[in-house]
Structure 1
Amino acid sequence: MHKMKMSPTEGLVMLLLLSTAEARNCSPCICEYLEETWTWKVDCSSLGLIKIPPLVSAHIRILYLQNNRLTTVRPGTLDILRNVKELNMSNNPWNCDCSILYLKQWLEDSHPASLANATCATPAHLRTKSLSQLSGNELEGCRKLLPIKCLDFLWRDLILILMAILVLIFASCILHYSKKLVSQVSRKQQSCEVPLLPWHELETQKIRKRL
């Protein structure tokens, strides 16, 4: 078994914890200090728990929570755990609504092997299904979040559409103004060229009369 590496300061702290281990209040769970790895074993199994009690340390290596009445886990409850190697959450009546997402995601990140051992008790259509088999669409209550997200996307799309319309209007105005300017320039050129023809003819007639 590999020993966990710790700094001298952490070792001193753990020795102090070891000296006061018997005085540590782990109720209602049973806490055992593992000298070989300088970590803890916390046994909270078969106590009829409806919620996970405060965890004694971040250095928990073994955690037993099986055979209780746990239905969900409050977000953040398990964030303190960084060194769990053995975890058992089986035989709990997990309620697989949207609130179970925290536990599912935490297990996926920290202890994937336990996903298959945690099975749903409710709702009825998910009974006996493990957390590893659940998808977001199967979790009741999660669909209620979708309209909010869709609304966010709707506002974003409306803003983009509005900006596109404004750009098209601006481009149309520029094009219209350009055509109008070209037309005005063309008319001015024509007005300057037309009088030249009669003047040229008059001069020709005057010369002919003199001759």
Structure 2
Amino acid sequence: MDSCQGLLILLFLETTYAWSCPHHCTCYPPEQKPQKVNCSFRELKTVPLLPSSTQELYLQYNQLETVPAGAFDNLQMLHVINLSSNRWHCDCGILYLKNWLEDQAGNMLISDVRCFTPPSLHQREISDLKWHELPSCSTPRRLCSDFLFRDLSLFVLLVLIFTFMIWIIVLAKRIRFKVEICNNRTEASHVLPSISTHLKRRMR
């Protein structure tokens, strides 16, 4: 939920500042629709909002540890990016950057992006990481098949409950029918002797 809200905020800000040069960065051309955005050596701790016209992006030598989900999704014209020499913390929060780098492989010039922490992953290329290697990502992911199996089990349970209810209704009707037959037979057993007695009296 938090990641979805963050993405919505990024989209809103993008429409507002789509052609603005990020604060603390230098852009070329300096006017509207910057194509080259240089945010290197700025000690940035968060990725700034980037204009969609960016073709070259330089974020090296900062204090960046992660990239928020969706931060690079609007950079459709990007063909050069430098993310090296940052303090990338490789846990579950780095998965967006890892997947983004994998998707862009071969499509643009990308500098080596390596983990800074934790020590067990120091200097590992982020794009080469496996999700089970990342701290706090060791628990198995819930796959679509898990949800399908859960929904199927729930459906089967509902069918069984519905069948059981129908069986109860049918059984109740049968019991009621038998009770009515028994009552009718009892009433008939009381009525017939009285009729026969009445006929005998009339015959006399």
| Superposition TM-score, scaled by structure 2 size | 0.57
Please give the alpha-carbon distance, in whole angstroms, between the structure 2 residues aligned to 1:141 and 1:105.
17
CA gap 1:114/1:122 in 2 versus in 1, 3 angstroms: farther
Q: Which runs of no fewer than 5 residues in structure 1 stay unpaired?
A: 1-20, 167-211
The higher radius of gyration belongs to: 1
- Cα distance per residue 1:129-165 (max 9 Å; x no partner): 01122011111222346368796466257458869xx
Cross-structure match for 2:88: 94
- The match for 1:140 among 130, 135, 154 is 135
In structure 1, the residue matched to 2:26 is: 30
RMSD: 3.5
Structure 2: how far apart are the matches of 1:25 and 1:63? 12
Residue 165 of structure 2 is matched in structure 1 by none
Q: Gaps (5+ residues) in structure 2?
A: 1-18, 161-204
Cα distance in structure 1, aligned partners of 2:145 and 2:156: 16
1:22-171 matches, cutoff 5 A: 26-33=22-29, 40-55=35-50, 57-111=51-105, 117-144=112-139, 146=141, 152=147, 155-156=150-151, 158-159=153-154
Alignment CA distance shift 1:147-1:111 (3 Å): closer
Distance 2:97 2:109 in 1: 11
Alignment check: 8 A CA contact 2:35 2:54 kept: yes
More strand per residue: 1 or 2? 1
Identical-residue share of aligned pairs (%): 35
Give the letter aligned to residue 54 of structure 2: I
Letter in 1 for 2:118: P
How many residue pairs were aligned?
143
